[in-house]
Structure 1
């Protein structure tokens, strides 16, 4: 605590701090160790109570829904009125969703974009204007390596983070004349609850869809977030705060389980090879074999019908992928 008396407090504003095992709360705790006054925001004061109590002199909690632009503006204006400015603004609020792209509920996909992308934009807009007026500050937008990995079945999340990446780099150039640094963070696997809390189809919906045969493989891949190599939130939080405090903040920050290998894969490995890896890890290769087998079997059965038998136009129209999905019980 002595550092608080050595210099004026820096002020940080962090969104998405509801989860006790999320990156948001880890960021707040890390910022406290650097002698920062932290405004932690989320949807529930109760969810942030233990965080506030862990450092009551340095952490203040406020309710804010990033999808409500007027509320975002009001909360940030209140912080500015209390302490005069925000030095570090971190957009961490985010949600996930899992579903086959052509079977997804678009209202859920829109909600993912409302939180992850439009919410980030709203906070950047409200906080960035104050920073521009003061001619200083750092904005950190937490995206994901998914913005570049294009993994199947997470299209809503991937596209929202790709939009955040584009927003971040446009904003970085626009705010550069005003002395403001803008950082894009692209983590890989960190041990948070975002995968467990992601909206996804029910078991019945999976079985009824085109990808029921590989449901278990798809869900298994989502658990990689908790694999032995995944980083704890505290580790990625320390890296993010290090970047924000740097004299010349980096444009991008990476971290998380296997981030070097995944970054190399995304940047240097040919698309066809990346697709091959994803194709097999996600179960799509297995599904292709089931579809091929079902299609071949149906074609053979159709060819064996007596010439002129009208039943062939009625008995054979079942969709090949649908047949594969129906085979899920044998998977």
Structure 2
């Protein structure tokens, strides 16, 4: 029998920002594919509860509480996971945030917060994970980008800059790490019903525009991102690196 190339059995997956929203959906999808999942978040209670929810579904899961914008904390926790749980085979850099304001009045503190959370954290977490992956000559990193890695909208210039940067970080890492047996790809979600987009979901005018703008005519459900993550993390994508997979209902393909 030919082995299932999508099977993640025995592999350890760290998913940042996974105690809710898209991150939780990705952690759940990887767990259903057989991975042992490390749930990350800043809040101890919420992160532990998310890990417990996955465990109730039969997924081996544990909590890792640390702030992804703190490189020292990220490195210490990753070393601890490697020592106590085993090698991190899959890293999903999902942690992200949004701030909206006209560019003329966009607070510099908010700009720094968006860039640190959405872009720099992927570097802070990837670097110590890669240090462990390189001697093993294997590993898969999946960065959660966005349709805003390609498109722009008013009032979210720092967000688009951070996600555009993450796209290019993905490609740069793929070029550098390919010879070392490590694949790096990105998932770029379109508009999904999440807490991050709650204000837009509840705005009839915006939702009306979105359904007309998106060929599939609706918001996405976070569960619809899991298949892309499983694919890019698995042996089914063994010759795929440096790619951004847009899961956006066709938005970036249509005028």
TM-score strictly above 0.5: yes
- Matches of 1:12 and 1:117 in 2, distance apart? 20
Aligned to 1:51: 50
- Matches of 1:81 and 1:222 in 2, distance apart? 47
**CA deviation map 1:260-302 (0-9, x unaligned):** 2x2224xxx6xxxxxxxxxxxxxxxxxxxxxxxxxxxxxxxxx
| 3-state SS of paired residue (2:99) | coil
Aligned to 1:232: 221
Residue 114 (structure 1) aligned to one of 113, 116, 125? 116
| 3-state SS of paired residue (1:87) | strand
What is the CA distance between 1:159 and its match in structure 2? 0.6
Q: Contact 1:140–1:185 at 8 Å: present in 2 too?
A: yes
Note the 1:1-331 alignment, pairs <5 A: 9-19=10-20, 22-56=21-55, 58-196=60-198, 220-221=205-206, 229-245=218-234, 246=236, 247-249=238-240, 251-256=243-248, 258=249, 260=250, 262-265=251-254
Change (3 A) 1:197 1:45: farther
Q: Contact 1:51–1:59 at 8 Å: present in 2 too?
A: no
Aligned length: 238
**CA deviation map 1:67-98 (0-9, x unaligned):** 10000000100111123311110000000011
| 3-state SS of paired residue (1:149) | coil
Q: Contact 2:187–2:246 at 8 Å: present in 1 too?
A: yes
What is the CA distance between 1:48 and its match in structure 2? 2.6
Which 10-residue stretch deviates more, 228-237 or 132-141? 228-237
Change (3 A) 1:223 1:237: farther
What is the CA distance between 1:44 and its match in structure 2? 1.2
**CA deviation map 1:134-183 (0-9, x unaligned):** 10000001010112111111101111111111111111100011011000
- Matches of 2:199 and 2:127 in 1, distance apart? 28
What is the CA distance between 1:221 and its match in structure 2? 3.3
What is the CA distance between 1:117 and its match in structure 2? 0.6
- Matches of 1:98 and 1:220 in 2, distance apart? 17
Q: Contact 2:42–2:66 at 8 Å: present in 1 too?
A: yes
- Matches of 2:43 and 2:54 in 1, distance apart? 18
**CA deviation map 1:203-227 (0-9, x unaligned):** xxxxxxxxxxxxxx9x943897799
- Matches of 1:169 and 1:68 in 2, distance apart? 24
Which one scores higher on RCO, CA 8 angstroms, separation ≥ 6?
Answer: 2
Greater than 4 Å deviation, 4+ residue runs: 222-228
| 3-state SS of paired residue (1:48) | helix
**CA deviation map 1:230-273 (0-9, x unaligned):** 111111122221222123335221113x3x2x2224xxx6xxxx
Instruction: Give the alignment's TM-score, normalised by structure 1.
Output: 0.66
Aligned to 1:294: none
